[in-house]
């Protein structure tokens, strides 16, 4: 859910809650426009996290305009729902943590649903919320405004969809698909980093080899100048390409010349 969707939903939901029991032609227009915005946003959500986030945002708006006696019930439902959303994020992003802590806790308490999956916080929260929506829907279309009735049906359908998708994620985690996938990603990342290191080393070696070959070729040119009594030109060429600040290269160059029988005393600055 984008920030724009969230802001639009909250604005429209507040209008719906404030005007649903107020009757006048002007207010009816306002209510129906806001209800349509809410319905469209609910309809556009497809992944479990977006469905959960949009439902949580709508419940917050509902709780602000509900009867004082129901506020405690709303607070408990919202808290449970928020915990469910956090657990969903763990299952999606950190399956190893879910396997390490949540699954053993459910097994100790012998909490499994009818499909044999761990009956965790997510299942508890959605079962609680499902019961509430079913109860409201039970009032029937003759007791509810058309827009409220249609939105309730959509919210319930979304809830079932998020529930099914979550159980699919649970199965993947429990069968190791997600963990193996993350492990493969980590291995691939390490391999890619190693390839980058190897490529950089090879490039460095090629550059060093090329520099060495250039240096040898240059020294041979200096040999030729020395051998043809062009010592001054040889010295100038050496100092040009082996300046004092490149002391290591200069030392290697001098050593190479000395090993080949040349007097290097004149190369000092």
pLDDT tens string 161-205? 999 999 999 888 888 754 445 544 544 665 566 667 666 666 655
pLDDT tens string 8-61? 777 787 777 777 666 566 777 777 888 888 888 888 888 899 899 989 888 888
| Residue-level pLDDT at 161 | 92
| Residue-level pLDDT at 184 | 47
Q: Are residues 211 and 171 in the same domain?
A: no
> Does residue 181 form part of some domain?
no
Please give the span between the terminal C-alpha atoms of the chain, in angstroms, as a whole number.
Answer: 72
User: Nearest-CA neighbor of 65 among 19, 109, 9, 25?
Assistant: 19
Distance CA 192, CA 200 (A): 12
Average pLDDT over residues 148-156: 89
pTM equals: 0.58
Q: Are residues 131 and 164 in the same domain?
A: yes
Q: Are residues 259 and 137 in the same domain?
A: no
Length of the chain: 269
> Does residue 180 form part of some domain?
no
- Evaluate whether 142 touches 160 at the Cβ level (below 8 Å): no
Domain that holds residue 218: 188-267
User: Nearest-CA neighbor of 253 among 238, 240, 268?
Assistant: 238
> Does residue 81 form part of some domain?
yes
Q: Are residues 36 and 160 in the same domain?
A: yes
Q: Mark which of 118, 140, 175 sits at the end of a domain.
A: 175
Q: Mark which of 150, 175, 200 sits at the end of a domain.
A: 175
> Does residue 167 form part of some domain?
yes
pLDDT tens string 109-122? 566 666 678 888 89
Q: Mark which of 113, 141, 175 sits at the end of a domain.
A: 175
> Does residue 183 form part of some domain?
no
> Does residue 158 form part of some domain?
yes
Q: Are residues 102 and 194 in the same domain?
A: no
- Evaluate whether 219 touches 252 at the Cβ level (below 8 Å): no
- Evaluate whether 84 touches 55 at the Cβ level (below 8 Å): no
Q: How many structural domains compose the chain?
A: 2
Query: Using N-to-C axis directions, what is the helix angle for 177-227 and 231-241, rounded to 10°?
Result: 160
Q: Are residues 132 and 66 in the same domain?
A: yes
Please give the mean pLDDT across all residues of the chain.
76
Give the tokens for residue 259.
Answer: 């090993």
Distance CA 137, CA 154 (A): 11
Alpha helices in 120-175 (DSSP H): 121-137, 146-175
Distance CA 3, CA 54 (A): 11
């Amino acid at each position: 859910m984008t920030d724009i969707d969230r802001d639009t939903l909250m604005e429209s939901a507040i209008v719906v809650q404030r005007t649903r029991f107020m009757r006048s032609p002007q207010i009816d227009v306002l209510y129906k426009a806001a209800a349509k915005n809410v319905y469209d946003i609910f309809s556009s959500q497809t992944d479990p996290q977006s469905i959960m986030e949009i439902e949580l945002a709508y419940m917050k708006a509902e709780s602000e305009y509900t009867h004082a006696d129901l506020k405690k019930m709303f607070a408990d439902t919202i808290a449970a729902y928020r915990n469910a959303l956090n657990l969903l994020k763990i299952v999606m992003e950190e399956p190893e943590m879910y396997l390490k802590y949540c699954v053993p806790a459910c097994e100790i308490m012998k909490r499994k649903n009818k499909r044999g999956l761990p009956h965790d916080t997510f299942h508890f929260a959605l079962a609680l919320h499902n019961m509430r929506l079913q109860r409201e829907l039970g009032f029937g279309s003759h007791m509810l405004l058309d827009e409220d009735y249609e939105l309730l049906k959509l919210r319930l359908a979304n809830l079932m969809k998020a529930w099914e998708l979550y159980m699919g994620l649970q199965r993947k985690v429990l069968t190791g698909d997600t963990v193996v996938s993350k492990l493969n990603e980590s291995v691939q990342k390490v391999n890619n980093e190693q390839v980058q290191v190897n490529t950089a080393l090879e490039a460095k070696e090629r550059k060093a080899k090329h520099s060495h070959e250039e240096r040898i070729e240059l020294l041979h040119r200096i040999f030729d100048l020395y051998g043809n009594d062009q010592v001054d030109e040889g010295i100038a060429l050496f100092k040009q390409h082996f300046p004092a600040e490149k002391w290591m290269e200069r030392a290697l160059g001098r050593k190479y010349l000395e090993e080949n029988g040349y007097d290097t005393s004149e190369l000092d600055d």
